[in-house]
Amino acid sequence: MDGDIRMEFNFKHKINGQDLIIAIAQDYKSLQVLMVAYMNKEALIKTLKTKKVHYWSTSRNSLWLKGESSNNFQYLKEILVDCDMDSVLLKVKQVGGACHMGYNSCFFRRIDTGKIAEKSYNLDDMSDEDLNIILDKVFNPDDAY
């Protein structure tokens, strides 16, 4: 590690021929972390231009305007970059909910570390008792997708 401060984006994450940065979305008021995804350069520029968050969908291999099918758009309020400039933190106003399962955040489950400990950390053998749902649904995904 050195003291140099990086000034250019480093799209270092390579998936299916795309050069990507990691993008974390955080509610700009509550500071709840909503989701994490990737952006290519086009998604980042479109996000900056339109103030609507765009990602690169690595499953569909296409540009992804968040909310394009659900109308659950993310409006950019602030954008921070990390020291390595290979990830960004998006402070957003989230319409509806961020998660396609109907929750405000994709991080709606907490691992019960006590129960996991009893199982000797066998992560291959997790049940819904090990994963507590800690959020309420804010919309019905059947209506949105």
Q: Using CB under 8 A, list all residues that contact a copy of itself.
A: 1, 3, 5, 7-9, 13, 15, 22, 24, 26, 30-33, 35-36, 41, 44-45, 48-49, 51, 76, 78-84, 87, 89, 99-101, 103, 106-111, 113, 116-117, 121, 123-124, 126-128, 131, 134, 141-142, 145
State the nearest-atom distance from the C-beta of 80 to a copy of itself, in Å. Answer: 4
81 vs 95, beta carbon nearer a copy of itself: 81
Least Å from the CB of residue 96 to a copy of itself = 14
On the 0-12 / 13-18 / 19+ scale of CB atoms within 10 A, 54 is buried
11 close to 84: Cβ distance less than 8 angstroms = no
Say if residues 39 and 53 touch (Cβ distance below 8 Å): no
Report, in Å, the least distance between residue 50 CB and a copy of itself.
11
Is residue 21 packed enough to be buried (19+ CB in 10 Å), middle (13-18) or exposed (0-12)?
A: buried
